[in-house]
Amino acid sequence: MVVCGILLLVLSGSLTWIIEISLSQHIATAYDTVTMITIATYTFYKITVAAVQRVRHWDTSPLSVVIRNIRYAEVAASVLTLQRSMLVSFGTSEHTPSQWMNALTGAAVCAFILSLGIYLIWKSRKEVEPWQNPNL
């Protein structure tokens, strides 16, 4: 759990760096309509699966918690990718509003993934406490 939490922290930091570079260099890829529909379908499928599994399964085992948090990070990154692609593919030629939207969504996604990593580390430390021997 701790390792996955640390990896989510690293993912958040590297995603922040990638978003900053892509915004400062105006790097974005425009796709055709069919590809955008495919990206949107994948993103909404992942959102639906994450929501349904969250409602149905209340398993609190460490492995389930880790997998669930990785899934949430994947969904957040997919939403960011969908937004960036849609703004470039279907947006106007004016870059300022789309840059602000991408910056705000990117910051929210990075903060969300960072909070998932911190949560995993906190939860693992909380679960270790009952197992520690008080006589040591």
CA pair distance 31, 62, nearest whole angstrom: 39
Q: According to the model, what pLDDT value does residue 128 have?
A: 61
Q: Consecutive 10-residue runs of the chain (136 residues): their mean pLDDT? A: 93 93 84 90 93 80 88 94 87 73 93 95 77 57
Residue 108: half-sphere exposure toward Cβ, Cα within 13 Å: 12
Burial zone of 7 (CB within 10 Å; 0-12 exposed, 13-18 middle, 19+ buried): middle
CA pair distance 89, 82, nearest whole angstrom: 10
Q: According to the model, what pLDDT value does residue 108 have?
A: 96
Q: According to the model, what pLDDT value does residue 12 have?
A: 94
Q: According to the model, what pLDDT value does residue 64 have?
A: 85
pTM above 0.85, yes or no: no
Q: According to the model, what pLDDT value does residue 94 have?
A: 63
